[in-house]
Amino acid sequence: MPVVTSRFRPPFFLRNGHLQTILPVLLPRRFQVTYQRERMELEDGDFLNLDWIHAGSDRLAILSHGLEGSSEDCRGMATLLRWAGWDVLAWNFRSCGGELNRFARFYHSGDTADLDALVQFTALTYSQIVLVGVSLGGNILLKYLGERPPHPSIVAAVAISVPVDLTSTAAALDHRWSNRLYLNRFIHSLLAKVQKKALNFPDHYDLRGSRLIRTFRQFDDRYTAPIHGFRDAADYWRQSSSLQYLQGITVPTLLLNACDDPFLTPECFPYTEAKQNPYLFLEAPESGGHVGFIDLANGLERWCERHVVEFLARVAARKPA
């Protein structure tokens, strides 16, 4: 049965979705691993900043971050994967990682082309590739795996805290008062990026009234949708949601979504799809928040990071190198 019974059991005082979500931000960890940066030039003339950790392996883990994040958010996962013998590539979406990209466009929740370009590039060197994505990065990962047969070098994937239904998630963030803190933080970061973009692309970014934007619907209607070729926010969310692609996944894939994730709605727990697809493993612990999963068993290390390494080790061991 691809619906997995979770072993995540945080202490009682950490069984709160908001606390699990906020605690890792308030108490960040320090890591001794060092990234090596490489710039990848894309066929359309833009670029991606790639951050590598080389372990001398012929197996590679590609890590995809969340909304307005960067490769820095992946250091915990990268560290454990490095210790487990994987080479690691944490990539920054266009306009993320401290450097704006060259074009008016930036990144969005359903853009799988850059991930495909990364896979094609790295498959020239690595015999096995696994994909790990969190939040928005997880949605991109799942959509990529399901919309067409993936590259044969991909042997497994894990997606964590994923809004597989973008319409309901946007509504939850826009209208739940308990999510106001997260919403304001995201909108502030996105608007700051838009203001920088407008300096180079004034014809694409009309800033009049932008300070009145308070919701994802307003932002995506005004900027994300038209800049990336969608009719409006609703069209963008509909086309970009990975939920409709889950039945097409053909490599072992773990989807880990906590039931108390403040960003997610019931639509983001695809039990039916998991029961119908033997490659899709859905794990929904009662607690964990949004990319939290702190149980203090190993200090501030996130339980999900070790869980990912264990899942990938089991799956990759079954695949010939």
Q: How many CA atoms lie within 13 A of 16 on its CB side?
A: 8
CA-based diameter of the chain, in Å? 57
Question: Does residue 51 lie in a domain region?
Answer: yes
Number of domains in the chain: 1
- Check 6, 64, 71, 135 and give the catalytic one: 135
Question: Does residue 170 lie in a domain region?
Answer: no
Q: Is 165 a catalytic residue?
A: no
Question: Does residue 189 lie in a domain region?
Answer: no
Here the CATH number for the domain that contains residue 62 is 3.40.50.1820
Question: Does residue 94 lie in a domain region?
Answer: yes
Question: Does residue 116 lie in a domain region?
Answer: yes
- Check 65, 108, 228, 290 and give the catalytic one: 290
Q: pLDDT tens, 115-124?
A: 999 999 999 9
Q: pLDDT tens, 87-126?
A: 999 999 999 999 999 999 999 999 999 999 999 999 999 9
pTM beyond 0.85: the answer is yes
Domain housing 133: 3-165+241-317
Q: If we measure between CA atoms, which residue out of 316, 193, 299 comes closest to residue 254?
A: 316
Question: Does residue 56 lie in a domain region?
Answer: yes
Mean of the per-residue pLDDT values of the chain: 96
Q: pLDDT tens, 232-274?
A: 999 999 999 999 999 999 999 999 999 999 999 999 999 999 9
Between vectors from CA 299 to CA 297 and to CA 304, what angle results, nearest 5°? 65
Q: If we measure between CA atoms, which residue out of 215, 25, 251 comes closest to residue 142?
A: 251
Q: pLDDT tens, 167-201?
A: 999 999 999 999 999 999 999 999 999 999 999 99
Q: If we measure between CA atoms, which residue out of 256, 260, 317, 312 comes closest to residue 287?
A: 260
Q: Is 135 a catalytic residue?
A: yes
Question: Does residue 61 lie in a domain region?
Answer: yes
| 6 vs 263: CA distance, rounded Å | 20
Question: Does residue 194 lie in a domain region?
Answer: no
Q: Is 290 a catalytic residue?
A: yes
